[in-house]
């Protein structure tokens, strides 16, 4: 279960990962949970939001680009990314963004 992430005052960074899944779980749920936990232990991690209907959207928030790069290159995460390419996603798009402004109620 994810909530609205409690992020600090901008600027910070957001990685928007949008995907379509292949049919069947094939170990996806367990790995997704593991990756959520692992990401949240990384330095520079600020929070994550995730939902899936026709399309899945996961937005992770980071303090700086270096932390995003380190997470992308994390060995266990690399393994998950490979399986994502091969088994879990029929298509995806990753967008690296800088958050300049935010507001809320």
Whether the CB-CB separation of 46 and 62 falls below 8 Å is answered with yes
Which of 45, 89 has the CB closer to a copy of itself? Answer: 89
Report the 10 Å Cβ neighbour count for 48: 20
Least Å distance, CB 93 to a copy of itself, is 4
Long-range contacts of 24-27 (CB under 8 A, 24+ apart): 26/87, 26/88, 27/83, 27/87
Least Å distance, CB 27 to a copy of itself, is 19
Which of 20, 74 has the CB closer to a copy of itself? Answer: 20
Instruction: Please give the residue ranges that form the binding site for a copy of itself (CB under 8 A).
Output: 1-5, 7, 10, 14, 16, 18-20, 49-57, 59, 85, 89, 91-105
């Amino acid at each position: 279960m994810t909530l609205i992430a409690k992020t600090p005052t901008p600027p910070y960074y957001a990685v928007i990962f949008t995907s379509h899944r292949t049919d069947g779980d094939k170990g996806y749920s367990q790995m997704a949970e593991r990756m959520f936990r692992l990401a949240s232990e990384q330095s520079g991690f600020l929070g994550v939001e995730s939902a899936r209907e026709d399309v899945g959207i996961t937005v992770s928030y980071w303090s700086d680009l270096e932390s995003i790069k380190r997470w992308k290159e994390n060995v266990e995460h690399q393994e998950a990314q490979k399986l994502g390419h091969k088994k879990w996603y029929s298509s995806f798009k990753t967008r690296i963004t800088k958050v300049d402004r935010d507001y809320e109620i």
